Copies of this chain bind each other. A is one copy, B any other.
Amino acid sequence: MNAAYARLKSRFARMALVGEAGAVLHWDASAMMPPGGGAARGEQLATLAGLAHEMLTAPSVAEDLAVAEAGSGEWDGANLALMRRAQARAAAVPTELVEASARANSACEKVWRTAKAASDFAAVRPHLEEVVRLQRETASALSAALGLSPYDALMDGYQPGVTAAEVEPVFTAYGAFLAEALPRAEELQARRPAPTSPSGPFPVPAQRALCQRLSERVGLDYAHARLDESLHPFCGGTPTDIRITTFYSEGDFAKSLLGVLHETGHALYERGLPAEWARQPVGEAAGMAAHESQSLIVEMQACRSDAFLTFLGGELHRTFGGNAAPYGTANLAGLWRRVERGFIRVDADEMTYPAHVILRFRLERAMIAGELSVADLPGAWNEGFAALLGRTPPDDARGCLQDIHWHDGAFGYFPSYTLGAMAAAQLMRAARRDNPAMDEELARGELLPLVAWLRDKVHAQGSRFGFQDLLRHATGKPLDPNDFTDHLRARYLN
């Protein structure tokens, strides 16, 4: 390791610490901050982001990167490559464009909140047009610097190394699977007796205690974590100080409980990142699809399995009392593994969820390519939705206005959800193969063996591998969507 690389390591560590400060301030803004603090918080976060950006684009960084030698270690080599990529991305986009985007995103997001409630696409349209215009400009600048297509350059910001050309055939094949599998799943579902909802109210303090207890059981250590409340659940904070949030409703415990298990999956990934590479690019999580694979393997693969539901039903009945019948395994499976052609992505089941993502992937790719105008978005959305799921959204609130992403300038993010779901199925199959006792363990509520496997195969690898190589390392093959469809067949078509 030469002096230039040593300087870079120390600079990237400092940038990461500024990022950690920002992460805690973000959490605070969602979970704690009084409303009057909002304006100042925006300024504080912008200042920290600006400082980190200056640190990354300082001329000395480019100079050091040009002569840096990481030595022969594999981790150091990957680290230096990630540093080069981060600097190239930051340097490619002029500061004025970064700032114009931030302003446009923030203005659009603000209007979107009201427009969504009123299902008023016309109100948000000029703002979204500006967002898309600046995203296209950004994509074009990144494209030139990174040697990727404009859309791939945006996607690379969320899940490095995955291209639209890889995603497209996977999604096309899934569309074909869905066209055949969904009607069959619906038919089988219709033949079974309708599940019974447990009857509440479910007191919030009891829900909170249950959520914390189960996330601890799954492996989250509250000496390094907090569980709080916010309107939109998330996992934030830093690897040694995780902040997960949820939203409780007295009438329904399922949403917060399954949400906390989902966020716990994210949290365990952050907690399991290699401490010896903390605050270095190679010590970070390997992208958003990898991250989503960790939340979904916990929530969807493990916790919604028959085995775990058997354990969970007992826990729930002990916690909330009342009639035991709704807490039986088959009934819980009926409630929480129900396919439905809904309009809302965040409420979707695991079989139809990819359809929501495929729609967005195609539309955003077309918008970035200049082949779809914002004015034509609502129509294209409704048409695409009908083609995939056979229904037409009754309004834009349940159509193209439902997600914050585009209105906040996030283009290229959506594919990560489905890549993550597919990776989760692939990882679960490999973990089951390596540990034949897993379902017996899950039936006893024991996720720690699975988490230990994930820690070893995924978490402890940081960003040493790209998405495909990480899967290769953990499962012996690159992304194989068949593992996901096999999982769906086993769960929904049997």
Interface residues of A (CB under 8 A from B): 14, 17-18, 20-22, 24-25, 28, 32-37, 39-41, 43-44, 47-48, 51, 221-226, 237-241
Contacts and interface: CB of A to CB of B under 8 A. Distances in A.
A334 to B, nearest CB: 37
A40 B238 contact: yes
B34 A241 contact: yes
B32 A44 contact: no
A44 B25 contact: no
B36 A221 contact: yes
**Residue with the highest number of chain B CB atoms closer than 10 Å, among A39, A44, A222:** A44
Contact of A223 (B22, B34, B40, B222): B34
Nearest to A225: B34
Contact of A224 (B37, B51, B237): B37
A223 B239 CA distance: 31
B32 A226 contact: yes
A48 B22 CA distance: 11
A223 B44 CA distance: 18
Nearest to A223: B36
Given A21-B21, A44-B21, A35 B240 contact: no
A57 to B, nearest CB: 16
B24 A28 contact: yes
B17 A240 contact: no
A98 to B, nearest CB: 16
A20 B46 CA distance: 12
A152 to B, nearest CB: 34
A18 B32 contact: no
B48 A18 contact: yes
A47 B14 contact: yes
B44 A20 contact: yes
A48 B21 contact: yes
9 contacts: A17-B43, A21-B25, A21-B44, A34-B224, A34-B226, A36-B240, A37-B238, A40-B241, A41-B241
A222 to B, nearest CB: 6
Contacts of A39: 240
B20 A222 contact: no
B21 A47 contact: yes
Contacts of A238: 37, 40
Given A14-B47, A17-B44, A48-B18, A241 B24 contact: no
Given A17-B43, A39-B240, 16 more contacts: A20-B43, A20-B44, A21-B25, A21-B47, A25-B25, A32-B32, A33-B226, A34-B224, A34-B225, A36-B221, A36-B223, A37-B224, A37-B241, A40-B238, A40-B240, A40-B241
Closest 7 CB pairs of A and B: A37-B241, A36-B224, A17-B47, A36-B223, A21-B44, A40-B240, A17-B44
A447 to B, nearest CB: 21
A222 B28 contact: no
Contacts of A14: 47
Contacts of A36: 221, 223-225, 240-241
A30 to B, nearest CB: 13
A405 to B, nearest CB: 26
Nearest to A55: B51
Nearest to A20: B44
